[in-house]
Amino acid sequence: MSVTLPRILALETSCDETAVAIVEGARVLASEISSQVPLHRPYGGVVPELASRNHVINVAPLVRQALATANCDISQIDAFAATSGPGLSSSLLIGNTVAKALAVTTRRPYLGINHMEGHLLSPFLSAAVDPCPCVGLIVSGGHTMLIRMDEVGSYTLLGRTRDDAAGEAFDKVGKMLELPYPGGPEIDKLAASGDPKAYDFPRSMLHSGDFAFSFSGLKTSVLYQLPELREKAPAQEWLPDICASFQEAVIDVLVAKALKALAATSMNCLAVSGGVACNSRLREALRDRCADAGHRLLLPSAALTTDNAAMIGYVASLRFARGLQSELTEDIDPNLTLA
């Protein structure tokens, strides 16, 4: 007997991507994203006011586009969801207000969703498998954390970064190296032809005995290396090696701590998410190490790794199935935590 799952329209506007998706459980009927990266590139980072004003411009056409892609009418949507935090308040408010307005006019429920829960569960959406107990490694531009998930809704924070997030470190080092914003994908590309052992950068907190991270010391080490290099040779001669060595230092710590977390929790499934999970060397290292240790590894596709609304709709559908919904009076929370 086939069960009809609720059809959810979800909006994600926590930072600079405007995204709208329509899902039925793990079935993604539409996932539309309008990237603002080129708009923010001249500023070397996200400008909050520019982001929110462009969400306003992009959101209605994207909702229409998602409905067209899913070949459905707004009256066929069972509930509306939006990211309610964490993120930039002026950006969060746009998706939130639109979702609430759609819920009011169609007399359907509204669900406010935690962006980090979206990332955490995105590997399950991507693999189309039911969520199971796992350690979640979330590595994005704003967060780096290890989470123990016993079941959907039951999360324990094992550790997080004490300073920069992994993606933030990639972007800041990219800026120092005068690479286009965001630095993460550029460093990934350049590192492919570099020697990861060329520079011995610090692996901060590798042996700290906990699950905390720190990347600001590594960033400073790269900075100190640059004047001498710039003096000696043109950038194209040392850039690949610097990128590969920096990237390897980040990855060594992420992979080692994720494996330690699996051992400490006696879990055997690692679910990796967030924009940095696109990194080709990180994916390769995780695959190798998890295979050696006999752990199951869930790595989302690139489209579900960076910010998207399908992951928000997926979490909304899991909550809706449990009878949960949000009040229309519920506020956004730029500092919302997961555990």
**Which option in Zn ion, ligand KG4, none does residue 16 bind, with CB closer than 5 to 8 A by kind?**
none
| Among the residue ranges 4-12, 67-75, 225-233, 307-315, the one whose residues contact Zn ion (CB under 5 A) | 307-315
DSSP category for residue 276: G
Q: Quick one: 67 or 336, whose CB is closer to ligand KG4? A: 336
Nearest-approach distance from CB 170 to ligand KG4, in angstroms: 4
Q: Are 161 and 173 in contact (CB under 8 A)?
A: no
Q: Quick one: 188 or 241, whose CB is closer to ligand KG4? A: 188
Q: Does 188 bind ligand KG4 (CB under 6 A)?
A: yes
Nearest-approach distance from CB 321 to ligand KG4, in angstroms: 25
**Which option in ligand KG4, Zn ion, none does residue 276 bind, with CB closer than 5 to 8 A by kind?**
ligand KG4
Out of 31, 83, 140, 325, point to the residue binding Zn ion (CB under 5 A): 140
- The letter for the amino acid at 175 is K
Q: Does 276 bind ligand KG4 (CB under 6 A)?
A: yes
Out of 25, 131, 184, 196, point to the residue binding ligand KG4 (CB under 6 A): 184
* Residue recorded with tokens 């999360």: 155
Q: Which of 277, 246, 145, 253 is CA-nearest to residue 204? A: 253
Both tokens of 31, joined, read 């996932």
Both tokens of 213, joined, read 């991270």
Q: Does 307 bind Zn ion (CB under 5 A)?
A: yes
Across-strand partners of 18? 34
Asked whether the CA dihedral 179, 180, 185, 189 is positive or negative, the reply is negative
Radius of gyration of the chain (CA): 20
Q: Does 84 bind Zn ion (CB under 5 A)?
A: no
**CA 162 from centre of chain:** 18
Q: Is the peptide bond before 86 cis (omega within 30 degrees of 0)?
A: yes
Question: What is the Cα–Cα distance from 5 to 53, expressed in whole angstroms?
Answer: 34
| Among the residue ranges 37-45, 191-199, 301-309, 320-328, the one whose residues contact Zn ion (CB under 5 A) | 301-309
Coil, strand, or helix at residue 29?
strand
Out of 25, 85, 112, 142, point to the residue binding ligand KG4 (CB under 6 A): 142
Q: Does 95 bind ligand KG4 (CB under 6 A)?
A: no
Strands 79-85 and 7-12: parallel
Nearest-approach distance from CB 115 to Zn ion, in angstroms: 6
Q: Does 12 bind ligand KG4 (CB under 6 A)?
A: no
- The letter for the amino acid at 37 is V
Q: Does 185 bind ligand KG4 (CB under 6 A)?
A: yes
Both tokens of 84, joined, read 């309610």
Q: Quick one: 35 or 97, whose CB is closer to ligand KG4? A: 35
Q: Quick one: 241 or 307, whose CB is closer to Zn ion? A: 307
Question: What is the Cα–Cα distance from 4 to 236, expressed in whole angstroms?
Answer: 56
Q: Footprint of Zn ion on this chain (CB under 5 A)?
A: 140, 307
Q: Footprint of ligand KG4 on this chain (CB under 6 A)?
A: 15, 140-142, 167, 170-171, 182-185, 188, 274-276, 278-279, 306-307
